[in-house]
Amino acid sequence: MTDTATPEELPVTDGPFFCYRHPDRETWVSCGRCDRPICTRCAMQGPVGLRCADCGKPAFDPLTSLTTGQAVGAFLIALIGGLVVSMIAPRIGFFGLILAYLGGGFTADMTMRSIGFKAGPMIAGLVIGGIAVGALAAFGLGYGSVLSAVMASSDPAASLAAVFGPLLLPGLGWGALYGAVVAAGAWQKLR
């Protein structure tokens, strides 16, 4: 028994098919796997012909899938990068914003290189989240050193009010700005 059909055995159609996802589009092409009619917009090139969007989607996408170790590594590299850049950039002044932007791009590049040039929303979330946590940790470390110096003084309550009143809110605003600039630099590299 042969797998090929003779021209007499082929089914005869009365007219064109219509795409199963776009019923208003006429087509003569069908999926090579499930035989549903598909238009040229829905067709994906498969290993042995055209496939519909459901059949052509790979079960394992090596570009966007991560192992647990890769995800943890990406987050840690982004966290360290965000921490270092957010600690150094504010000390430079206004030009620290430029350094923060470039540092964010460098952090994203190093993260992507360490996990094998993966892309996608999960990778972007890990990198931006790691940078945000690193920037928050840099802010906390900066104010932790001030807090330890205040607590070592003879009157910690008065020193605390004198130091943290004028410094906390502006420092928090600038810390958030530097963290956002680092994240923007990383986002530019990731998209």
pLDDT per position as a tens digit, 91-120: 887 898 999 999 999 999 999 999 988 888
Higher pLDDT: 151 or 90? It is: 90
Would you list the domain boundaries of the chain?
17-53, 68-190
With a cut of 90, say whether residue 60 has pLDDT above it: no
Instruction: Give the confidence band of 165 by pLDDT, cuts at 50, 70, 90.
Output: low
With a cut of 80, say whether residue 184 has pLDDT above it: yes
CB 107 within 8 Å of CB 182: yes
Is 0.85 topped by the overall pTM?
no
Higher pLDDT: 90 or 12? It is: 90
With a cut of 80, say whether residue 179 has pLDDT above it: yes
pLDDT at site 14: 64
